[in-house]
Chains A and B, each alone.
Chain A
């Protein structure tokens, strides 16, 4: 019986851990192309605790799964901003923005139009 309780406790605690171990979030990130996608996703995965980052070129949605014990959305958002991509609620500094490839300069309407197709 004692063993059972221990097993159950362990199981329950892993389940609770499992919940914040794989925390999910979605973030709106500005960008225009597949190069942006690679840059955004790489920035996220280089952040400790991020397990999966998938950014959609068309919808601008960044789907994140991360270990809630190791990181949080704000930290990830900062990493994305640091490589020059504006996020909803937090935008990149001009210095960071200047580091993106010229064809990825999503703030420029002309560049945006180029990527419309």
Chain B
């Protein structure tokens, strides 16, 4: 007689045949172990463990999956286990023939995950205050490029740099992007000549995820970071969609097209071709000041990636080739570059950029000893910008080489990890500012060592140090220390200290000053970089993250405070409306940043993020200790997102997103000495903007989105000072605190074949 037991748990079906009375012997049980598979193929498992629970009586199955085991009445629970399969325990009451099917553990992955992955994840474990922005978060705003992808993130502020170039500038801890180390795949990429426009040269669809580290950051990636580090991880040929098409069009008649094509070349090689093009040729002047509200532009951006993976030997490699051509034209509406370039016929500007980049990475993980790995990365870029702004001319050519070797290992056991290596950078700058040539070469050789201690419980400490020898900055030590302590469940208390040092590229970083009639003065002559000294700052930070459940729903709250204290800074002084002065800091300069953020999963599919920020950024200018211009003291941020349930057989689902930003008053740099007509108040008005987006996901292949930026149509009415007299002495486009163009609507689609 046969008994069939069908045990159904939530996800698994075990079929258990028990064949009693066919037992061979009274003292033994025997049987066969097989793999449970969909096709019901008979695959017997050799080497599976079969033993009586809480005993040492056990055996392993033979080549054909059979076993024999002694039996006694005291033992009733038979455990069957095999690596890669789910362990089962059978209740055996009589000696009998056992036939059992083990469930492979991969099949368990098909279990429906009920808790949704968060689009922005904060780590409770890492020592650094890092959060990862996944591609889901990036899709919340139809970000066309990296500079727009921070709009749903309260830790990073996005501002307009000036009223003519349409460039967005990012800030962290109240400090502008030159103080942030911006890397793509851990290779510093937005620096030097690409500082002003570089973020708009990385298309949003190329970005897989972004890691944002507040505070000093790791010593491994260099000495330049002061306020924080941003790393953009790009899509990989082996994991990205076979074909991806993204088309975007905005009411301003901006059109963008992104195409990704990924193919598998061989077992070990994958390649991807990524094409991006954007264009905007329409003329907009909603504020009737005679100037274009946004430039006319064309951009072509091409990347080719090759990925090599050999898991057996432990090698991974990436080779990337990039090409960019970007052309912008802006200025007065009637400006014609052919006849008016560098004349007073009309004020106009053209910025043409061409950039080539080649980078390669090779990683080796010892397959025998998984904690040992070596990484080599090298990148070369050539960046050329030719531009003029009215009568002012600015050209820059920047060739850059970056190489580093990193070795990872452990000391005694895996709680003590080390990273060590050497790096080399070479930068050659050739600049033409009006009629003056500036040329310099910077080289640096450095070695770094980072130690991480993780007690697997409450404490995680990372202490890193690097020593660099730089031809212009000298030989210096850069320490960086981070610690995380977990006083109780779901919490993380962090602290960090670090030093940063950099050479300020005063022209490339402050290009908006060319779109003014200000004279540019460098007041020091003894330093090594444009006569100025290198910038040195210490950054100290503490943060506290607490996760909790409120009415049965996940929530977390973060409070953080950071202080950046400049030992030397290249002060950019706009306090005289006819001049821009650059000089070494004489006195104190600091940036205090306090932020509190709450994330709450309000209802089943609704997430809410609220943040408040307080900044105190003050510098000792020649005219006194003043707040940094155009930096709001108070800022509020809110983001709400709602996603309908993903149902099977339904025609897709919806996603709704809204982001609200409120900025407090911001200080205008002084215009007291200007004629009354060109004087500005001390402070800007308060400002609130709202962005919304709706996405309809039809299937995993196709989705359409529709959105509005600045839907309440908030505008700064007179962003250009002396717009009627652009060649007069009061022309200035840098007093920008809010949107210049009113509300803008856009629509787009995404199509993918996996």
Which residues of A line the B interface, CB within 8 A?
Answer: 22, 24, 26, 28, 38, 41-42, 45, 50-53, 58-61, 65, 86, 88-91, 113, 116-117
Taking CB as reference atom, which chain A residue is nearest B455?
A: A42
A45 engages B81 (CB within 8 Å): no
**Interface size class for chain B?**
20 to 34
Name the contact of B456 in the complex, choosing from A45, A50, A51, A91 (C-beta under 8 A).
Answer: A45
A89 engages B58 (CB within 8 Å): yes
CA distance A91 to B51 in the complex (A): 12
Residues on the B chain within 8 Å of A65, using CB: 369-370
CA distance A60 to B412 in the complex (A): 25
Residues on the A chain within 8 Å of B370, using CB: 52, 65
Residues on the B chain within 8 Å of A28, using CB: 49, 81, 87
Most buried by A among B12, B85, B105: B105
Supposing A38-B456, A58-B86, A113-B9 touch, asked if A88 and B415 sit within 8 A by C-beta, the answer is no
Taking CB as reference atom, which chain B residue is nearest A22?
A: B369
CA distance A61 to B87 in the complex (A): 10
A59 engages B457 (CB within 8 Å): no
Task: List, sorted by A's number, 30 A–B pairs whose CB atoms are closer than 8 Å.
Answer: A24-B368, A28-B49, A28-B81, A28-B87, A38-B456, A38-B457, A42-B456, A45-B456, A51-B371, A51-B413, A52-B410, A52-B413, A52-B414, A53-B414, A58-B86, A58-B105, A58-B108, A59-B105, A65-B369, A65-B370, A86-B54, A88-B49, A88-B58, A88-B81, A90-B56, A91-B54, A116-B9, A116-B11, A117-B11, A117-B114
Residue B647 at the chain A interface, CB threshold 8 Å = no
Q: Known pairs A51-B413, A59-B83. 17 more at Cβ < 8 A?
A: A26-B83, A28-B81, A38-B456, A45-B413, A45-B414, A45-B415, A45-B456, A51-B414, A52-B371, A52-B414, A58-B108, A59-B87, A65-B369, A65-B370, A88-B58, A88-B81, A116-B12
CA distance A50 to B371 in the complex (A): 13
CA distance A88 to B79 in the complex (A): 10
Residue B84 at the chain A interface, CB threshold 8 Å = yes
Residues on the A chain within 8 Å of B456, using CB: 38, 41-42, 45
Residues on the B chain within 8 Å of A51, using CB: 371, 410, 412-414
Supposing A28-B49, A58-B105, A59-B83 touch, asked if A116 and B58 sit within 8 A by C-beta, the answer is no
Residues on the A chain within 8 Å of B87, using CB: 28, 59-60
Residues on the A chain within 8 Å of B108, using CB: 58
A88 engages B105 (CB within 8 Å): no
A60 engages B81 (CB within 8 Å): yes
- Hey, what's the 0/1 contact readout for B326-343 against A, CB within 8 Å counting as 1? 000000000000000000
CA distance A26 to B82 in the complex (A): 12
CB of B126, distance to nearest CB on chain A (Å) = 16
Residue B10 at the chain A interface, CB threshold 8 Å = yes
CA distance A42 to B371 in the complex (A): 17
Residues on the B chain within 8 Å of A86, using CB: 54
Q: Can you list the 5 inter-chain pairs with the closest CB atoms, starting with the nearest?
A: A52-B414, A58-B105, A42-B456, A51-B413, A61-B83
Taking CB as reference atom, which chain A residue is nearest B86?
A: A58
Interface residues in B338-397 by Cβ distance below 8 A to A read 368-371
Taking CB as reference atom, which chain A residue is nearest B82?
A: A59
- Hey, what's the 0/1 contact readout for B1-28 against A, CB within 8 Å counting as 1? 0000000011110000000000000000
Taking CB as reference atom, which chain B residue is nearest A37?
A: B456
Name the contact of B10 in the complex, choosing from A45, A58, A117 (C-beta under 8 A).
Answer: A117
Residues on the B chain within 8 Å of A41, using CB: 456
CB of B366, distance to nearest CB on chain A (Å) = 10
Residue B677 at the chain A interface, CB threshold 8 Å = no
Taking CB as reference atom, which chain A residue is nearest B454?
A: A45
Taking CB as reference atom, which chain B residue is nearest A112?
A: B89
Residue B676 at the chain A interface, CB threshold 8 Å = no
CA distance A22 to B54 in the complex (A): 31
Residues on the B chain within 8 Å of A117, using CB: 10-11, 111, 114
Interface residues in B385-433 by Cβ distance below 8 A to A read 410, 412-415
Taking CB as reference atom, which chain A residue is nearest B415?
A: A45
A50 engages B413 (CB within 8 Å): yes
